[in-house]
Chains A and B, each alone.
Chain A
């Protein structure tokens, strides 16, 4: 199993540009989440999903959209990038009803200039 994969690993955007961060998991986990990691602020939840077709907002959802059309994929869209979205983004998945251990992807380092 590949586990949780994310693409790209690095990305530089200009203010106002849009892009999609990809996340996929092959463990058939029901729950998936997106976090951003910023120094001194830990990881903050952006959006999460408890199953295909179901998404909900986390702590910091503004400026981001998600969709979950399949169990495997959970892309994160930046609609109009801003310098405040410069961060490292992590995707994670969890098997419902298990130990609730979150499996993380390797992260995407995004810089918005």
Chain B
């Protein structure tokens, strides 16, 4: 069975500090991983996907198959980054998405 774990429920940093949101997964196949973000009172939206290797809003995430991790990083956090972040894993068919528990990031001024 597939599983996604985000060990930190809450993460608080100061503006300008680096931030790393941890995500670990277990999956028997070749994983396809995503980070979704939910800003206050808004719907969930895709932040980035590992397969595209892109940087969105300064965030990057690298898939480490050896450590089964997909940590989200940003070198200099901004106040507008405050949100709930979810790591997610999709089945090979694309029909089911498994989410982690979520990490609430707060960036303090």
Contacts and interface: CB of A to CB of B under 8 A. Distances in A.
Interface of A: 31, 33, 35, 40-45, 48, 50, 58, 90, 92, 94, 96-97, 99-102, 104-107
Contacts of B65: none
Which of B44, B46, B100 has the most chain A CB atoms closer than 10 A to its own CB?
B44
Contacts, number: 57
Given A102-B46, A107-B43, A40 B9 contact: yes
B101 A42 contact: yes
Interface of B: 4, 6, 9, 32, 34, 36, 43-46, 49, 51-52, 86, 90, 93-102
A99 B32 CA distance: 10
A100 B36 CA distance: 13
Contacts of A44: 99
Given A44-B99, A90-B44, 6 more contacts: A33-B96, A42-B100, A43-B44, A48-B95, A50-B93, A90-B43
Nearest to A106: B43
Contact of A33 (B86, B93, B97): B97
B46 A94 contact: no
Nearest to A45: B96
A100 B32 contact: yes
Nearest to A43: B99
A96 B94 contact: yes
B45 A104 contact: yes
A57 B19 CA distance: 36
A48 B93 CA distance: 13
Nearest to A59: B98
Contact of B102 (A33, A42, A101): A42
Contacts of B102: 40, 42-43
A44 B102 CA distance: 11
B94 A31 contact: yes
Contacts of B9: 40
